[in-house]
Amino acid sequence: MSDVISTVAAVQMVSTPVPEENFSVVRRLVGQAAAQGAQLVLLPEYWPIMGMHDTDKIGHAEPLDAGPIQLLMADLARQHRIWLIGGTLPLVAPEAGKVLNTMLVYDPSGARVMRYDKIHLFSFSKGDESYDEARTITPGREVATFDGPFGKVGLSVCYDLRFPELYRAMGDCTLIVVPAAFTYTTGKSHWETLLRARAIENQCYVLAAAQGGLHPNGRRTWGHSMLIDPWGEVTAVLDEGEGLVIGAIEPHYLERVRESLPALRHRKL
C-alpha cells in the first residue's frame, strides 16, 4: 500500500437511451474530475445506455476490446493519464439474446488491466415497479480485484452490495468500488446503510458511482454517489443529477483505523 494521499472521483449520471448523449456527459465530467486532480475515476452502472426497454442494451453489446464504448474509455484514461473504472457496459454474451454486464478497468496508458462481470442479478417487484435482470443478462462467476495507485481495489456492481461474502472474498482492499443504478425505492431505504456496512466491516474506503434522477424511460434512480472512509463516515455525497463526488484516499488513516480496532485480524471464519 502506498503512503501517498490520492484523489478519487465518482461520476453521477442520468443516462439516456442515446449512447452519444451519454458519451458527451462522460467526456465532460471525466475531464472535470481530472482537472481537479483525480487519479482514479469511477463511472456508474449502465452509463452508456439506459434504454427505453431492457432489451435495448442487447443491440449495443460489444465484443471485448472492440466498439465505441470501450474505445472511448481507453481514450479518456490515456488522454487524462488516469485510472478509469468504466462502470458497466453491455458485452456480447455466449447466450443469444443476453449480454454480460461488465466493468472494465483502464490504466493511465489506456490499457485494459481488469474485467469483472456482474455476479448477482437484481430482481424486484413492488406495485408498479418490476425488474428482472436475468431476462437479459448472463451472470459472471469470478471475483475481481486489481492493484491501483494506492493499493488493492475490489470490483463490485450495484446488487452485489447486498452480498457481503463477495467482499470478504476480495481479501484486504484499500478501496472497494460500487457503480450502481439503484432504484429510488430500494436506494432510499438501503443504499447508504449497505455502503457504510461494507466500509466498516472491511475497514476500507468505498467509492460508489450512481445513476441519479428521472430517466427518459420513466425509471427513477436514487443517486447519492458517495465516498465513505474506513470508519464508515460519508466524506462526500451528491444527491441527484449529473456531477462528481471527489475525495481523498488516505493510507495512514486506513492503517490507524485497523490498528485501533483490529477486527480483520480477529476473524475466525
Q: Where are the domains of the chain?
A: 6-260
The whole-model pTM stands at 0.97
Q: Which of 57, 98, 158, 240 is catalytic?
A: 158
Catalytic residue among 57, 62, 98, 118: 118
Left, alpha or beta for 46 (phi > 0: left; psi -120 to 50: alpha)?
Answer: left
Task: Given the residues 45, 62, 133, 240, select the one marked as catalytic.
Answer: 45
CATH of 6-260, one of 3.30.200.20, 3.60.110.10, 3.10.310.40, 3.40.50.10470: 3.60.110.10
Q: How far is CA 244 from CA 5, 222, 238, in A?
A: 19, 15, 7
Q: For 229, list phi and psi in degrees, rounded to 5.
A: -90, 175
98 flagged as catalytic: no
pLDDT (tens, 9 = 90+) of the chain, 269 residues, equals 677 899 999 999 999 999 999 999 999 999 999 999 999 999 999 999 999 999 999 999 999 999 999 999 999 999 999 999 999 999 999 999 999 999 999 999 999 999 999 999 999 888 878 889 999 999 999 999 999 999 999 999 999 999 999 999 999 999 999 999 999 999 999 999 999 999 999 999 999 999 999 999 999 999 999 999 999 999 999 999 999 999 999 999 999 999 999 999 999 98
Q: Give yes or no: 118 in active site.
A: yes
Q: What is the pLDDT of residues 81-106, one digit of tens each?
A: 999 999 999 999 999 999 999 999 99
| Helix ranges, the chain (H) | 19-35, 68-80, 164-169, 184-186, 192-202, 251-260
**pLDDT tens string 20-59:** 999 999 999 999 999 999 999 999 999 999 999 999 999 9
Catalytic annotation present for 158: yes
